[in-house]
Amino acid sequence: MNARVRIQTGDFDLSTEVAALREQDKRVGAVCSFIGTVRDRNDGQSIRTMELEHYPGMTEKAIEAMIDEAFKRFNIYAARVIHRVGLLQPLDQIVLVAVSSAHRGESFQGCEFLMDYLKTQAPFWKKEQTPEGARWVDARESDDAALAKWGIESRNA
């Protein structure tokens, strides 16, 4: 079976990842996926490129814990998170979250939970190149409403 978490510089293919997620599992009736992409603007500023960094080992461990928590909360069969690091351009894919279950509701909830948790808690560091120069941005944007929805306390609380 493929790893539940992959941190990589290369791109990923949605259809390949979904096929691997549901391979030979006849229980699966639903797969929900989310793909995040690099946009050309952030906080009103033009973005030329974005560079993501992480601590190998620490990041994977944190995301594995997020997936374990999703399995405790929802009746899901499989989950996969792929997150890219390195230099990225606008339109590049950054992240894939995919979840399988028997029914769509659990898949939607598991996917949304993982994406909210990933966006607010995963240890990534982001540097954006703007026309004015480089700037570091907290890649774990605080979204208290998203965290509260899942009963998770904000790290800024």
| pLDDT (tens place) for every residue of the chain, 157 residues total | 468 999 999 999 999 999 999 998 999 999 999 999 999 888 778 889 999 999 999 999 999 999 999 999 999 999 999 999 999 999 999 999 999 999 999 999 999 999 998 888 888 988 888 888 888 887 566 666 676 777 877 665 5
* DSSP label of 139: S
Helices (H), 40-103: 58-73
Structure tokens at 153: 């306390």
Say how many residues make up the chain: 157
- What is the model's pTM? 0.88
Q: Taking a C-beta distance cutoff of 8 angstroms, is the pair 92, 37 a contact?
A: yes
CATH code, 5-141: 3.90.1170.40
The alpha carbons of the chain give a radius of gyration, in whole angstroms, of: 16
d(CA 99, CA 73): 13
Of 90, 113, 108, 101, give the one whose Cα is nearest residue 40: 90
**Separation between Cα atoms, residue 97 and residue 83, nearest integer Å:** 9
The DSSP element (H or E) to which 109 belongs, if any, is: helix 104-121
From residue 123, how far is each of 103, 126, 141 by CA, in Å? 31, 10, 11
Is residue 124 within a helix (H) or strand (E), and if so which, with residue range? strand 124-130
Task: Note the Cα 45 to chain centre separation in Å.
Answer: 23
